[in-house]
């Protein structure tokens, strides 16, 4: 665990944590969350680690405690993600066995529920109030839990999946690559499917539907047929969704290089009457590579890191040309590229499907294979 100064990016302190038992444990650590006490919660294998900062910034240390969840995590499996609900209970999901659980941090008690046979949970999930929205390799679920903390299914709904055995190029699992996105004050939840023609799929969240309502509001196609894949969460604001195309991102673990990927950032809006969706725009000038986007509602700009290839530098060391990475902004209203500035070159500025973060100091932070880099306004 590393604590970094938000302005200088100087490492203030670090803490060695229990070793991960497998590569999949690292995927779970990517879903670390902060609670209302500024404690960092992260899964590692079959444990949940809670870390906190101690002391002043100029003389700070980190400490941690852990919860052992081996009673509900099968041997060899890992906790893939965790999210607190509005009462402080900690929901979590188990990757390969498709288990959804609930931890009471006050007592350490754990309750769990296994989803359908053969279903895995390869992404994070979302929480609204006391309910969790979990997407497996087969379905999207709304789950809830009462005072007994036992998870139960409110409803489930399927989605198109043309890659049930081998992952689509640009996705990690054999299902949807997205964490569910809750929007319009909890009225809708959206994912991307795993069809050859990628769709943004929007669902009504209500426990009970009206007599003329379907669970699925729309399956809106995005990006070119056969050339779309979404491995990062959709951006949701109001009734609008932003999708970034990751199709073709397959990297070499030894060199951290990947072949050219397909471009595309798209905006989809849910119709005001809630009976369908509309493609507002698609920007094919921007290539997200493995990156997802973030929206600043203050500026109306979509921020992401995009990829270009300098083919004049193609050689044995750079078989696909030299990757050049750019800080990029897109106008939320029009879809036009507003601004870009080079961030760096080579695989160090690439990353394993990272999402950027906009900080309260106005900086935009990204993580790459060789560290953290940031963008901020000059004086």
- Provide the percentage of residues in the chain whose pLDDT is more than 70: 100
3-state secondary structure of 23: helix
**CATH assignment of 1-158?**
2.130.10.10
- Three-state SS string across 269-298, please? EECCCCCCEEEEEEECCCCCCCCCCEEECC
Give the pLDDT score at 315.
87
Beta-strand ranges (E) seen in 109-186 are 110-114, 126-128, 131-135, 139-145, 151-158, 181-183
Quote the tokens at residue 364.
Answer: 């935009």
Give the pLDDT score at 378.
77
* pLDDT tens profile 280-294: 999 999 999 999 999
- Cα–Cα distances in angstroms (integers) from residue 293 to residues 36, 186, 241, 354, in the given order: 25, 21, 11, 9
Q: What is the CA radius of gyration of the chain?
A: 21
* pLDDT tens profile 117-173: 999 999 999 999 999 999 999 999 999 999 999 999 999 999 999 999 999 999 999
* pLDDT tens profile 63-113: 999 999 999 999 999 999 999 999 999 999 999 999 999 999 999 999 999
* Residue 56 pLDDT > 90: no
Give the pLDDT score at 91.
98
Average pLDDT over residues 183-203: 98
User: How many residues can be counted in the chain?
Assistant: 379
Which of 49-58, 266-275, 310-319 has the highest average model confidence (pLDDT)?
A: 266-275
Strands 139-145 and 151-158: antiparallel
Burial of 277 (0-12, 13-18, 19+ CB in 10 A): buried
CB 313 within 8 A of CB 323: no
* pLDDT tens profile 239-254: 999 999 999 999 898 8
Quote the tokens at residue 121.
Answer: 């949970």
3-state secondary structure of 28: helix
Give the pLDDT score at 318.
86
Spatial neighbors of 81 by CB under 8 A, at least 6 apart, are 28, 31, 43, 92, 93, 121, 123, 124, 125
- Provide the percentage of residues in the chain whose pLDDT is more than 90: 85
Average pLDDT over residues 6-15: 93
- For residue 317, name the pLDDT band (cuts at 50, 70, 90): confident
3-state secondary structure of 26: helix
Q: Return mean pLDDT, the chain.
A: 94
Domain boundaries, given as residue ranges, for the chain = 1-158
* Residue 332 pLDDT > 80: yes
| Rounded Cα–Cα distance for residues 235 and 223 (Å) | 16
| Rounded Cα–Cα distance for residues 15 and 32 (Å) | 15
- Cα–Cα distances in angstroms (integers) from residue 217 to residues 77, 165, 194, 209, in the given order: 35, 27, 17, 12
- For residue 210, name the pLDDT band (cuts at 50, 70, 90): very high
Average pLDDT over residues 192-211: 97
pTM above 0.85, yes or no: yes
Give the pLDDT score at 311.
86
Give the pLDDT score at 20.
80
């Amino acid at each position: 665990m590393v604590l970094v100064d938000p302005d200088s990016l100087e490492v203030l302190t670090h803490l060695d944590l229990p070793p991960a038992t497998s590569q999949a444990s690292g995927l779970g650590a990517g879903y670390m969350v902060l609670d209302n006490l500024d404690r960092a919660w992260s899964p590692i294998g079959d444990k949940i680690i809670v870390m906190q900062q101690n002391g002043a910034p100029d003389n700070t240390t980190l400490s941690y405690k852990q919860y052992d969840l081996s009673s509900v995590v099968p041997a060899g499996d890992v906790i893939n993600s965790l999210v607190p609900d509005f009462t402080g209970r900690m929901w979590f999901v188990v990757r390969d066995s498709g288990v959804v659980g609930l931890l009471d941090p006050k007592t350490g008690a754990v309750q769990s529920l296994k989803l359908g046979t053969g279903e895995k949970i390869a992404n994070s999930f979302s929480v609204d109030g006391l309910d969790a929205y979990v997407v497996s390799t087969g379905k999207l679920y709304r789950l809830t839990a009462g005072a007994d903390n036992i998870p139960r299914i409110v409803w489930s709904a399927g989605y198109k999946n043309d890659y049930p055995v081998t992952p689509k190029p640009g996705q990690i699992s054999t299902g949807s690559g997205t964490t569910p996105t809750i929007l319009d004050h909890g009225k809708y939840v959206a994912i991307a499917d795993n069809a050859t023609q990628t769709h943004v799929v929007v669902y009504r969240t209500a426990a009970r539907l009206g007599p003329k309502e379907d669970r699925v509001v729309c399956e809106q196609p995005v990006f070119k047929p056969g050339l779309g894949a979404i491995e990062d969460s959709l951006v949701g604001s109001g009734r609008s969704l932003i999708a970034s195309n990751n199709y073709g991102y397959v990297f070499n673990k030894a060199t951290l290089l990947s072949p050219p990927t397909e471009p595309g950032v798209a905006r989809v809006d849910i119709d005001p009457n809630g009976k369908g969706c509309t493609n507002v725009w698609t920007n094919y000038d921007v290539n997200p590579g493995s990156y997802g986007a973030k929206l600043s509602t203050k500026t109306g700009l979509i921020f992401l890191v995009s990829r270009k290839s300098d083919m004049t530098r193609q050689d044995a060391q750079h078989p696909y040309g030299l990757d050049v990475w750019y800080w990029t902004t897109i106008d939320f209203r029009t879809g036009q590229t507003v601004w870009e500035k080079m961030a760096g070159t080579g695989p160090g500025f690439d990353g394993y499907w990272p999402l950027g973060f906009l900080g309260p100091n106005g900086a935009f932070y990204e993580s790459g294979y060789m560290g953290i880099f940031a963008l901020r306004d000059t004086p």
